[in-house]
Amino acid sequence: MLSPKEIGPKVREIRAVADVTKDGRAPMCSLSGAKLPGSPKTVTRQFNNATRGKGEIAYVQTIALYGSPDEAKKAYAALQDKAKSCPPKRNVAAKRIRENFTLFSHKDTWKFDTDSVGNWMHARGTERQQYPSTTSKYNILHLMYDYASYGNLLVSSIYYERTEPKESGDPTSRRATEVLKKQLQKLG
């Protein structure tokens, strides 16, 4: 498993688990969660740094262990199908997440691609969330949703950074890929 320093500077593991991954769910577009098929054994870990605005990093991963490689492949295919059905653009209404936290309304753009990372089947959803400029100077979130499967393992994660409106999501994508590769190498 990854250590916090392998994710980024001043990153720490936190006990809270993001709503999108509660009950062993996989993160999905627009900060939703997708139930994993079957009955895998799961572990979910969440990390962040204390920075707010530029330099803010958050990472959440769910690792699912299935009884067989076929079950893991089926679960991976189900996640791919769900991710492919995400709308390329959508307006998301404000939503109260818990008593002291509301997710502001925002615009999402979504793109989905598949490839491989070493022996792992891999798919990535790239999402750009644009919040009203009145919420922060750094009102853009670049989110990388990764899904990978090899053998009887399925890894799903979300990595995000906050930026100013004109900044590209490419640096965030590169850092998310580095974190993903480190985790997959540790798992096999």
Alpha carbons 8 and 76: distance in angstroms, whole number: 27
As a whole number, mean pLDDT of residues 140-151 equals: 96
As a whole number, mean pLDDT of residues 40-64 equals: 90
> What class is the 4-187 domain?
alpha beta
Residue type, 40: P
The token pair at 182 is 């480190």
Residue type, 13: E
Alpha carbons 45 and 172: distance in angstroms, whole number: 20
More confidently predicted of 178 and 56: 178
Name the percent of the chain lying above pLDDT 70.
98
Q: Which residue has the tokens 């295919």?
A: 77
Q: What was the pLDDT predicted at 67?
A: 97
Domain range list for the chain: 4-187
More confidently predicted of 17 and 35: 35
Report whether pLDDT(110) > 80: yes
Least confident of 47-56, 64-73, 157-166: 47-56
Asked if 65 and 155 touch (Cβ cutoff 8 Å), the reply is: no
pTM score > 0.75 for this model? yes
Question: What is the residue-averaged pLDDT of the chain?
Answer: 91
Phi, psi (rounded to 5 degrees) for 136: -175, 155
DSSP class of residue 36? P
How confident is the model over 160-175, as pLDDT tens digits?
Answer: 998 888 889 999 999 9
